[in-house]
Amino acid sequence: MSEAKLIDGKAFAAGLRARVAEEVAVFTKARGGAAPGLAVVLVGEDPASQVYVRNKGRQTAECGMQSFEHKLPVETGEAELLALVDRLNRDPAVNGILVQLPLPDQIDADEVIAAIDPAKDVDGFHVVNAGRLAVGLDGMVPCTPLGCLMLIKDALGGDLSGKRALVLGRSNIVGKPMAALLLRESCTVTIAHSRTFDLPGECRRADILVAAVGRPKMVGGDWIKPGAVVIDVGINRIEPAEPGGKAKLVGDVDFETARAVAGAITPVPGGVGPMTIAVLLRNTLVAAHRQAGMAAPAL
C-alpha cells in the first residue's frame, strides 16, 4: 500500500483566509466602510499566548478586518476582566470577542466565557453555542473542530454520510464539538477516551479518526484502519535527549507508522494548527453578517 496523502492544512487555511478577505471587502463596502471587528484579550505574559495573539492580530488585519487587542497585566482581577468583556459586548464595532486561554489562577475562565455575548463568541465556547451545536441549530462553532471538519470533507470529496468516525478525546473545546459536527454530517460517531475498553480495536473500525488527547504518538499505525482519514489535533513538545539539541513538535499520532497505513493524514506541524486562526476569521465574518441582519456567505 502506498503512503497516505498528506493533508496540507497550511495551504487549505491560506485559501480560506483568501475567501474570507474577499467577503470582508464585500461586507465592508455594503456597510459603508465599517469592516468586521475582532477583539482579542490577553491577560498576562504567557509566551505561547503572546505569539498566538500576535499572529491573530496580523492575520485579522491582512483580511481587512479591524483588530482590537487588549493586553492586561497578569495580576488583573476577575471583576476588571468581566468589565472589559461587558464593554466589548456593547461596542458595535466589535463583532467577535476572544479571551485567550489559559487565564491566571485568580480568574474563573468559565465565568468569563459565560459573560461573552453568544453572538460575539467566535471561539464557540459559550454554553448557548455548545447547546445550539448539540441540537443542530446555527450558532458559533469552535474553530479547531470546524477546521478539522473542513479538512476531512476536502479529503473525502465532501460527502461523509455513513462513514464510521471515531473522536479520541472528550474535551469541550475539541472532542465533544467534533463529534457533534460529524454526527451532523450523518457519520456514525464514537467518542473514545482513557477509559474506553479496547481502544486500539475501536480506532481500527474508524473510516475517520480524529485524535485530540494531548499524548505524544499515542496512536500507532497498528491502531489505524487501512485507508482511513487521520486528523491529528495534538501538538506536543518533545524536549531533546541531548543537551543543546532542538525540541520537536509531534502529534498524538505516530506519524511515520500511521502514514504507511492511512489513506490521508495531517502532519504536525502544518496540519490542523493553521486552520484554527483561519476559522476564527471565518467565524468573525459570519458573526458580523448575523449581527447586521445579513445572510452569511458559505465559506
Going from N- to C-terminal start, the domains of the chain cover 32-118, 143-274
Amino acid 46: pLDDT: 83
Active site residue 222: no
Amino acid 171: pLDDT: 95
237 forms bridges with which residues in the sheet? 249
Query: Given 59, 100, 117, 176, which residue is catalytic?
Result: 100
Amino acid 32: pLDDT: 96
Amino acid at 181: L
Q: What are the tens digits of pLDDT across the range 259-298?
A: 999 999 999 999 999 999 999 999 999 999 999 999 999 8
Query: Given 117, 121, 123, 207, which residue is catalytic?
Result: 123
Active site residue 56: yes
Amino acid 27: pLDDT: 98
Options 3.40.50.720, 1.10.8.50, 3.90.1150.10, 3.30.420.40; CATH of 143-274: 3.40.50.720
Three-class DSSP category at 65: coil
- pLDDT lower than 70: segments of the chain: 1
Amino acid 133: pLDDT: 97
For the chain, the average pLDDT equals 95
What's the whole-model pTM score?
Answer: 0.95
Could you please report the per-residue DSSP string of 80-140? Answer: HHHHHHHHHHH-TT--EEEEPSSPPTTS-HHHHHHHS-GGGBTT--SHHHHHHHHHT----
Amino acid 1: pLDDT: 57
Q: 32-118 and 143-274: same fold?
A: yes
CATH code, residues 32-118:
3.40.50.10860
Cell of 16: 480560506
